[in-house]
Chain A
Amino acid sequence: MSKKVVGESVPKIDAATKVRGQRKFPQDFNMKGQLYAKVVWSEYPHARVLKIDVSPAEALPGVVAILTSEDVPVNEYGIDIVDQPVLVGEGEKVRWLGDRIAIVIAESERIAQEARQLVRVEYEPLPGVSDPREAMKPDAPLIHEERGDSNILKYIKIRKGDIEKGFAEADVVIESYYLTPHVEHAYMQPEAGVGYIDKEGRVTVIAAAQWSHDDLHQISQMLDLPIDQLREIVPAIGGAFGGREDMYIQHLLALCAYCVRQPVKMVFDREESVMRTGKRHPYYIRYRTGATRDGKLTAVEIELISDAGAYASTSIPVLSNTASFAAGPYVVPNAKVDAYTVYTNNAVAMAMRGFGSTQPAFAYEMQMNKLAEALGVDPVELRMKNLLEDGSIALTGNPMPTGVGIKETLRQSALAAGWKEENGGWIKPDLGPPSAPYRRRGIGVACGYKNVGYSFGFDDKSKVIVELALDESGEIARALVKLGASDQGMGAHTALAQIAAEALGVDYEKVRVALVDTSMVPNAGSCSASRHVYMSGNAVIRACQEVLRKREAALRDEIGEKRVVGEYEYRGRSVRPTTPYDPETGMCDPHISYGYATQIALLEVDVETGETEVLKVWAAQDVGKAINPEMVKGQAGGGVHMGLGYALTEEFIQKEGLVKTRRFSEYHIPTVADMSREFIPLIVEVPDPTGPFGAKGVGEMTTLPTAPAIISAIHDAVGVWIDNLPATAEKVWRAMQGRA
């Protein structure tokens, strides 16, 4: 009776509406009588606001209201640390270009645009700081003087084993300095939404959000209203990649609706989205790796400094993640890690695919490839000697939980890419001749791993309700899965519907997932940390078991019940409790579960121009269990896209806090022509027994290995190491000329 749905590439639940263009994104909503709002943004990266004069704007016909800091009941918010003003008032400071001075609300978008140009703001520019290493110095200008006398937001240290002994045992030491830049999320759907008062008098927001229930929490504090007077509806999301985890428009829409009591629509143009919203953390990484002659890692000494930007956002959890992954997926007996996140006047840095695990992945994999070269060992072979396995002791002193499939991802991708394995040794394939006399071929390998679910003792949980509609004979006619999980496009809702279908023993087509409306669905936690398949999938299975029990009881008692409801709240700590860092040693059990990936890139470098063309990428991801294999391949493709952009084409240029790359014409994400000519995704399934059907997570892991694989392949081709991203043609050219 039970049908196999899990493991099948069923059509995505919303694919048909998306190909028709019917699926609505936040900017596609229009309400009767709606007004239009535009933000007046800060003009300086660091300045005191002396005077705000809204009168010229107010005088424009069609302007309904102009909100300033005085209109905000509680003018502060923040997803972790509450350090951010909603609107900056007279006498207060702007700390980056994304600070807001006012919101203009008008009868048409055109009038709102015109009016916001008329708001007059006088600033007193203040000395700022745009390099976190400068910002750490005692004499640096303070970004948040109200929080203390240092710009250092957080410091984490890990001390494992005996670092001096570790380096003394090393025959080879590799030391490098890596720079990973700001990255723009570049989701295709710019921030947008509508705020209004619903029929129940609730302040309601329609917007793309990764954690609608948490948004309500922050909005509740901002408006000083109880949560049951608030509501957030999340329609289709046009990509997020972490960029919708903090609020960038939700609270503004709520404030507008609250103040004018009419529907208000706001849409950011691309320039606003690029210039005024958060980015991936830049990291400055000093990395020393020691290993023995026969390729065993003995010690790592790592300093990581992240640029938090003007406000904390999730810089502290990101840093915590970073530190835990700093040594890579390897057994390293001795380690010294010092990690800092520091305020500057740059763009606020926030969650982005990888959440602090992407940057160290670049560094640790570059180190491994440099080590392989120094030792004269094949890069696959070197990794096989050191990679984590089930039960291996990780950097933070904890044993790795069952399901460590990283070696399998390396093995499968290497074999697919042409490596030969002989008696534990690995032999790189012949790459063939280049396509032109001025090109050289190279191949590079990299691994990466990341947590699934929230960490360091956070009570990660997901609550799900499953409703069954029964027909006359008591059979399940339809099932509705209700949870506050956003589907940003990766297919979370589809995967959960598949899990529900299999758990209920019904056809996939009978299962629906409810619209995310906080007034109707429970809190499933954030759509981040690659967690929904694991956390919500586990909750769905148990909620289905619960509802099936209730159905049985209903049938047995012949109540004639046509609708049965079950619910379950799954808590990560019920299977794997995690613990926070020990403040002195950094030892802990940081994460619930993990996902693993290896990628291999084959490319050609034009030795005269420095340009790189990626020919082939093999991407192997260990997902535990592929709920929908084609969706996993989609995540692999998208991860490679983001990683390739990170490595080669994406340059976010900011000088002294002023953004220079403001639009898609200036910030270049890869086009189809920039992607590898061939793509070979490989699904690896090394189950985590605590995961639903053994599943772990995939969304972020697929973007970790791409950049180091590509950069290492560039070295393989032309003998230069590019330690700071992106490896633009000019950078590669300079390195080849010896003029770096």
Chain B
Amino acid sequence: MNSTPVALNPLEPGQRWVMLILNAIPSLMLAAGGFWLGKLLEDQLGWPWWPPFVILGLIALWGGTGAPLRRFRAWGWALADDELHVASGVWTQVHTIVPLTRVQHIDVAQGPLQRAFGVATLIVHTAGTAHATVSLPGISRATAEELRDVVRTHVRAEPW
């Protein structure tokens, strides 16, 4: 996305592994499905078993490696003055700016997989409706807590 107003920080490297592992399961299932379909066609119609396996396997390979890595690179965030910037998306690129004074409450979430790789998700809630929750996965627990504290001072400074 051109002319981004601030320089964005990438996510923690640990999040890359979280995303790869999360994508590995459906990818393996897709590859297995391709193998099964190939065998089925071979049994029923006498076609060679490998074309469906190769086609679906290649899609699965991309879905399990290239795609999550591209998605990982698309994520970016920055804390500029009193605003939180969160950018993401490969096909549809989204850049959201949340003024910290408009934040209602903040969550720091950490799943078991994220805990294993030392990353956390920061979830920011505003009073709005369309983009009321902005979540930022894949920052370190320390950064998430630091961000939370910064946001908290702003929330306190300017009540409704």
Partners in one complex: no
